[in-house]
Structure 1
Amino acid sequence: MFNLLFKEIRLAAHPNLFIFTCMGALVLVPAYPYGMIFLFSGLGIYISFMYGRETNDIYYTALLPVRKQDTVRSKCWLVVLAQMTQMLISLPFAYFRTLLLSNGNPVGIEANVAFYGMGFLLYALFNLIFLPTFFKTAYKAGKAFILALIPMTIIMTLVEIVVHFPAFEWLDGTNSTDLFRQLPILVVGILLYVVASLLAYRLSVKNFQQVDL
């Protein structure tokens, strides 16, 4: 699996995947809808899968002495690696933001604990919809991306809006009290991400087994 993942990073991944993964640094930009960062992650993954389609990467991988489920697993690991790397890249910039831009984010949610909980939720949605849909054909990346993008955009927009209501101002807070209240959101987001990613893998393997390459 390590060799397959290495192949994915060196040969199958489009350069845009690495560029959009680095978009986690955008949390340092003032007055910006930070939820867009997670949509950029999905866009980078989509472009990479589309690039793999054009270069017949799935077919090439299937010709290797590996099982069909290993082909799916390597793609899923690439997606998870890109998402977790984006998350890790954003963390130091989110910390520096609290030091340099302490006035909050007038556009939407602040880069705080609730924000990262939302991020894991958006990642979970993307993986659960995009991966199984793509592996129904191992070809139609555009359809899979659109189906995943719609609910992601709706949820991201709702979160960016709801923090402007007084009853939900604590979701936008960065003091210790608000951050502690936001912890359950982060925990639930992580759990949903793990469960959704595992389920996405199982569904993708099931779908890909039916594909005649």
Structure 2
Amino acid sequence: MTSNLLYKELRLAAHPNLFIFALMGPLVLIPGYPYMMVFLFSLIGNFVNLMYTRETNDIYYTTLLPLKRSEVVLGKWLVLLVSQLVTILFSIPFAFLRLRLFSLPNPVGIEANVAFYGFGLMIFACFNFIFLTSYFQTVYKVGTSFLKGLFFATVLAVIVEVSVHFPMLTWLDTVTFAGQLKQLPILAAGVLIYVVAMWGAYKVSAKRFRQVNL
């Protein structure tokens, strides 16, 4: 059932911009660029996708299928999950390539290192919980839900980019092997927060969507 839901979402309901914004990993090759934008662009892609869902009445169509309300939520939840995993996995080769091409550090903010991905997962977690739980209260107010989630995600991204300029936090910006080993707890925390937030987002969204009168 899960694979069928995802297949339906990606082949029938997904907006092309979802895939475009999920493939912003090469941005880490730009010198002097705020690399947290890689994650923020992914959020925009998911916003456009759910806005397209509203315009095509896909939620209403999906509820007419032999599916539970919770499975309708699961389909959109899976698209969010898969697109964000693609964003991360697609960017990793370019992060390695950056280390080979550029010797100078990123003057704007954090490097594309282990801590970068840990914080990126936290940004995704923050946005997903707010965005999905707000969206499934009505399944129509996509813009309002997006702005709520984007605000907190952007604040977190700015904090991360600025924090590495403080002397006591410069270890977050290192790309050496030993330095990135030190950053592993941040990555682990990011994974844990992401898993918990996604589980919570699904449960709360499914509960709220059961009360929606389409």
The whole-number CA distance in structure 2 between the counterparts of 1:33 and 1:13 is: 28
How big is each residue's C-alpha offset from its partner over 1:10-42, in whole Å with a ceiling of 9 and x where there is no partner? 111111100000012211111110011111111
Say which SS state the counterpart of residue 23 (structure 2) adopts.
Answer: helix
Corresponding residue for residue 171 of structure 1: 172
**Structure 1 residue aligned with 2:192:** 191
Matched, 1:181 2:182: yes
Indicate the larger mover: 88-97 or 23-32.
Answer: 23-32
Give the 4+ runs in structure 1 shifted more than 3 A.
Answer: none
What TM-score results when the alignment is normalised by the length of structure 1?
0.99
Counterpart position of 1:140: 141
Q: Which residue of 2 aligns with 1:24?
A: 25
Alpha-carbon separation, structure 2, partners of 1:195 and 1:162: 25
| Structure 1 segment 57-68 matched on structure 2, within 5 A | 57-68=58-69
Q: How many angstroms apart in 1 are the aligned matches of 2:195 and 2:25?
A: 20
State the number of aligned residues: 213
Match for residue 5 of structure 2? 4
Q: Distance in 1 between matches of 2:71 and 2:175?
A: 42
Unaligned ranges ≥5, structure 2: none
Letter paired with 2:67: V
Deviation string, structure 1 residues 127-165 (Cα, Å, up to 9, x no partner): 110001000001111011000011111111011011011
Aligned-residue identity in percent? 53
The residue aligned with 1:41 is 42
SS in 1 for 2:183: helix
Aligned Cα root-mean-square deviation (Å): 0.7
Distance 2:183 2:140 in 1: 40
Distance (whole Å) between structure 1 residues aligned to residue 59 and residue 22 of structure 2: 22
Structure 1 residue 102, shift from structure 2 partner: 2.0
| CA distance in 2 between partners of 1:115 and 1:28 (Å) | 14
Q: What is the one-letter code of the residue matched to 1:71?
A: V
